[in-house]
Amino acid sequence: MPKETIRKLGEDLSRLLVAGAHLASADGELKKNKEKLESLAKQLGDKAPVLGQLAKAAEKAMSAAGAEAAKEVCSLTTNVAQVRAAQAGLASADGAASPVPEAPLIGTPCNARYVYDIYEALTTHGSGRDEPISNGVQTGQIVDLRLRAAAIAAIADTYIGQRVAKEVVPLYGTTVAAIVRGQFNPKGGAADGRRLTALTAIEKTGAKDLIVTALKDGNAEMRESALDAIADHLIGVADFEPLVLETMSKERSGGVRRAGVRALEGFGSDQVLDALISSLQIDSCSRAAASSLGKSPHAKVVDRLLELLDETIGGDKKAKKKKEDDTREQARWILRALAPHKGAKIAAKAVDLLDTHGGPAAECVLTSGDGRQLGAAADRLFGKDNEMFQPAVRAAMKLGADEAFKRLSKVLEAPDRTHDAGKARVAAVFHFLGTDADKRWLKVLFKELEEPSPVTTQAIAAIGKIGDKSAVKPLIKALQAKPMPTTPLKSAIIQALGVLKDPSAIDPIFDAIVDSKQYDVAAAVHSAVIALDSPAALPRARALVAKLEGNAWQFWYYRRMLEQLEHKFGK
């Protein structure tokens, strides 16, 4: 009990050192620690005088203010570290001496101005802190020695902790592993689950001891975190299969079982296949089981799923009305599990279920090389089932360029193209147009640009994805049109110009910035200019930021853009 209390006090002091020692007086956790120490001091008396001393030091830290508060918090932190060191014992040497593994080199690459934004996002409370963290991760500048302690402490943050544990802390690699291990408590709560997530991302199989302890001694929340860590970082590692199966055999918590089903992905034993087939029929696990079965390496997974599908469809026909929806949904999960596997038997079974089981059946047909079956799926593009649209588009594209263009271009002529279903159908077509798209599409898409409609922004995005530089001039002309395009169209055009990566678009993009409240335009300009990756943008960015200094609507995006350009092209 005393050791655990002192350990907890050390963690809370580390958090306060990051957040600010002046907060000690109002910190509820520090107050609880002080009260526990006082209670233990009364119980143990002369047997452990250090407990009373720590309680008094905690009282002084909480009652101090200003610079004195910082001095007392630092003093208390030192005392706690000394006590914990005295409690520890030296581990015995085991095995032959070997060189310490090399750790990644961590420098200070973050711009001095931007480092404050990230530090503030990691250490303050409340929402709205995602943007600086996202940009720091994307640019790699968050991997900075000045931010390391803040990143480790932020794992405990209820708002950003999960993201930091998954995306930020692992970037520091083995340089933080020992620190996070020292903070990890297998019997702890959500924050310790996130620490386990980060450690597994860093150490991979080296974190097995922590995972075993978490599964054995942890609460349901901790067991779920351990299984999710396996699912995210240790898929198919043989040592973990028996651990997952044993945990699931004893588990009642739905969340833990779902995580266990995820963790079974990649294992091909009969026991795993049985467990996944069984879990497919449990509502809370159906999605995870379908995903794991879709990636199962077991030789008989397709046969087992087809047998289960026959049983379920047969049951559907015999079911009473109130059970029809349940059995139909179960059949759809089976089809989702079958869809990633290839085989004529799958498509042959699924093609007869297109009208009754929708999108999941169409996904299964996509594995077919049979033109008749693919055509049957493509024909459903003009139905009312939104779930059918994307697989129907993909089926049409498998029928060859001419047939696909003939079928899919009709979507833009459909009477309902401006209604919800029609816009969803158009979005499905544009979603799959890419650099390999038939060049006839450009003519169709430019027509959309000339005659704006509710689907024009989608058409503009598709122009960018096709990647043909001949689209740059028409897009610039549309950007400079009078009257000016609406904000959504302007943003879409700017984004597309960025994707096309033609430096001639730099001046037109900057000239399009006229309204200080066009927040979406600011985001699009930032994204496009960085994508254009040209030093010619630097003087325009400098002039823009000087003009808009202090403008709350746009300034963050433009300041960030300038910092990135200065970092790459500035002298």
Span 51-73, average pLDDT: 83
Choose from 72-76, 246-250, 498-502 the range with maximum mean pLDDT.
Answer: 498-502
Q: Is the peptide bond before 485 cis (omega within 30 degrees of 0)?
A: no
Q: Is the pLDDT of residue 77 over 60?
A: yes
Q: Which of 157-166, 366-375, 559-568 has the lowest mean pLDDT?
A: 559-568
Distance of alpha carbon 319 from alpha carbon 326, whole angstroms: 10
Q: What is the DSSP string of 315-338?
A: HHHHS-HHHHHHHHHHHHHHHHHH
- Decide: residue 379, CB within 10 A, 0-12 exposed, 13-18 middle, 19+ buried: middle
- The pLDDT value recorded for residue 468 is 92
Span 205-215, average pLDDT: 96
Q: Shortest CA distance to 57 belongs to which of 22, 93, 30? A: 30
Q: How many CB atoms lie within 10 A of CB 428?
A: 21
* Contact (Cβ atoms closer than 8 angstroms) between residue 565 and residue 526: no
Distance of alpha carbon 182 from alpha carbon 175, whole angstroms: 13
Q: Is the pLDDT of residue 82 over 60?
A: yes
At 191, list the tokens: 């924050």
Q: Is the pLDDT of residue 42 over 90?
A: no
At 353, list the tokens: 């279920």
Distance of alpha carbon 336 from alpha carbon 203, whole angstroms: 33
Classify 176 as helix, strand or coil.
coil
Span 135-142, average pLDDT: 88
What φ, ψ does residue 433 adopt, rounded to 5°? -80, 130
45 versus 496: which is more confidently predicted?
A: 496
Q: Which of 50-54, 167-171, 505-509 has the lowest mean pLDDT?
A: 50-54
Choose from 217-226, 314-323, 543-552 the range with maximum mean pLDDT.
Answer: 217-226
Q: Is the pLDDT of residue 75 over 80?
A: yes
Q: Is the pLDDT of residue 89 over 70?
A: no
Look over the chain and give the mean of its residue pLDDT values, rounded to a whole number: 88
Q: Which residues contact 322 (CB under 8 A, 6 or more apart)?
A: none
At 304, list the tokens: 């087992």
Classify 46 as helix, strand or coil.
helix
pLDDT tens, residue by residue, 515-547: 667 888 999 999 999 999 999 999 999 999 888
How would residue 91 be classed by pLDDT, with cut points 50, 70 and 90?
low
pLDDT tens, residue by residue, 287-309: 999 999 999 999 999 999 999 99
Which residue's structure tokens are 């594995």?
A: 367
Q: Is the pLDDT of residue 100 over 70?
A: no
- The pLDDT value recorded for residue 154 is 96
Span 326-344, average pLDDT: 93
Q: Shortest CA distance to 267 belongs to which of 236, 227, 311, 230? A: 236
The H-assigned helical ranges of 319-417 are: 321-338, 344-351, 354-365, 371-378, 389-397, 401-408
How would residue 551 be classed by pLDDT, with cut points 50, 70 and 90?
low
Q: Is the pLDDT of residue 65 over 70?
A: yes
Span 213-218, average pLDDT: 94
Q: Which residues contact 194 (CB under 8 A, 6 or more apart)?
A: 155, 156, 161, 162, 164, 165, 225
pLDDT tens, residue by residue, 467-494: 999 999 999 999 999 888 889 999 999 9
Distance of alpha carbon 147 from alpha carbon 261, whole angstroms: 36
- The pLDDT value recorded for residue 18 is 67
Q: Shortest CA distance to 410 belongs to which of 436, 387, 392? A: 392
How would residue 3 be classed by pLDDT, with cut points 50, 70 and 90?
confident
- The pLDDT value recorded for residue 178 is 93
CA-based torsion, 522, 524, 526, 532: positive or negative = negative
Distance of alpha carbon 533 from alpha carbon 529, whole angstroms: 7
Q: Which of 201-215, 228-242, 333-347, 548-562 has the lowest mean pLDDT?
A: 548-562
Q: Is the pLDDT of residue 319 over 80?
A: no
* Contact (Cβ atoms closer than 8 angstroms) between residue 454 and residue 443: no
- Decide: residue 403, CB within 10 A, 0-12 exposed, 13-18 middle, 19+ buried: middle
Distance of alpha carbon 202 from alpha carbon 173, whole angstroms: 6
